[in-house]
């Protein structure tokens, strides 16, 4: 296996895992606003913070995967 092939496979694996991460943490579009107690509010804030971090990590992984595939194509 040559270096461009290895970079291509790594980029593809990174893109696939990023897609799964983005799909698994997709926000629920029917979130309703209602009065909640403090504990439920804190739980919702933690969940939203985790979702934002996971989406950021997913998009960074996706960009890195595409960059690795581009480098592999340019190295051929």
User: Quick one: tokens of 50?
Assistant: 């985790």
CA distance linking residue 76 with residue 67, whole number of Å: 15
What is the band of 64 on the pLDDT scale with cuts at 50, 70, 90?
A: very high
Give me the domain span that covers residue 10: 3-27+36-75
3-state SS assignment for residue 28? coil
CA 33 to chain CA centroid, Å, is: 26
Pick the residue with more confidence: 38 or 8?
A: 8
Quickly list H helices, 25-37.
Answer: none
d(CA 70, CA 64): 10
Averaged pLDDT for residues 4-20: 94
Residue 32: its pLDDT value, please?
63
Please tell me whether the overall predicted TM-score, pTM, comes out greater than 0.85 for this model.
no
Number of compact structural domains in the chain? 1
pLDDT of residue 34: 67
């Amino acid at each position: 296996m040559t270096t461009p092939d290895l970079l291509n496979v790594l980029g593809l694996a990174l893109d696939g895992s990023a897609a799964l991460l983005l799909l698994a943490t997709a926000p629920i579009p029917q979130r309703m606003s209602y009065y909640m107690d403090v504990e439920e509010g804190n739980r919702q804030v933690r969940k939203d913070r985790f979702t934002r971090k996971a989406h950021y990590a997913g998009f960074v992984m996706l960009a890195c995967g595409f960059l690795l595939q581009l480098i592999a194509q340019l190295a051929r």
